[in-house]
Amino acid sequence: MARIPWQFHDPAGNDGAGETYYWEINPNDGGYPDRAKSIAYNATSAPDGQTVAFEGREAPMTFSFSGVILTQTQFEVMNTWYEKKNQVQLTDDLGRSFWIYIKAFSPKRQRSASHPWKHNYTMEAIILDWA
């Protein structure tokens, strides 16, 4: 089976011509949005004091994933995409596509004789839309 890389796409990037990055190494953890319902509870004034639960709008979905970076180029590319001030499209290896705003990039350097730029990283994003 052929490898299917994750990809970032920025339609506004590269001076409006669009920009796509195909990941050299897919993340090894995460990859599906965290979802949470918003539930509020109120006690009634009835003598038996029953609790009533109300379901509100879902909280904004967040997305986090982590993996490994082995080269300086990969490190610089991930920083470049983190620094974007607009939403970007992320497509994973299963073909799921998300419009995200990247809110955190946390690289942690790892000791490696064969890969001096080796880092483990975590990236977090807010999902703005998905198909």
Question: What's the pLDDT at 48?
Answer: 80
What share of the chain in percent tops pLDDT 70? Answer: 99
Residues in the chain: 131
Which two tokens mark 104?
Answer: 């955190």
2 inside domain: no
Q: How far apart are CA 100 and CA 79, in angstroms?
A: 16
Contacts of 1 (CB under 8 A, 6+ apart): none
Given pLDDT bands bounded at 50, 70 and 90, which one contains residue 54? confident
- Estimate to the nearest angstrom the gap between the alpha carbon of 34 and the chain centroid: 10
Q: Which CATH number belongs to the domain containing residue 97 in this structure? A: 2.40.30
Domain that holds residue 110: 7-130
pLDDT in tens, 60-77: 888 899 999 999 999 999
Tell me how many domains the chain contains. 1
1 inside domain: no
Q: Which residues in 63-102 are b (16+ Cβ under 10 Å) and which e? A: bbbbbbbbeeebbebbeebbeeeebbbbbbeeeeebbbeb
Question: What's the pLDDT at 60?
Answer: 81
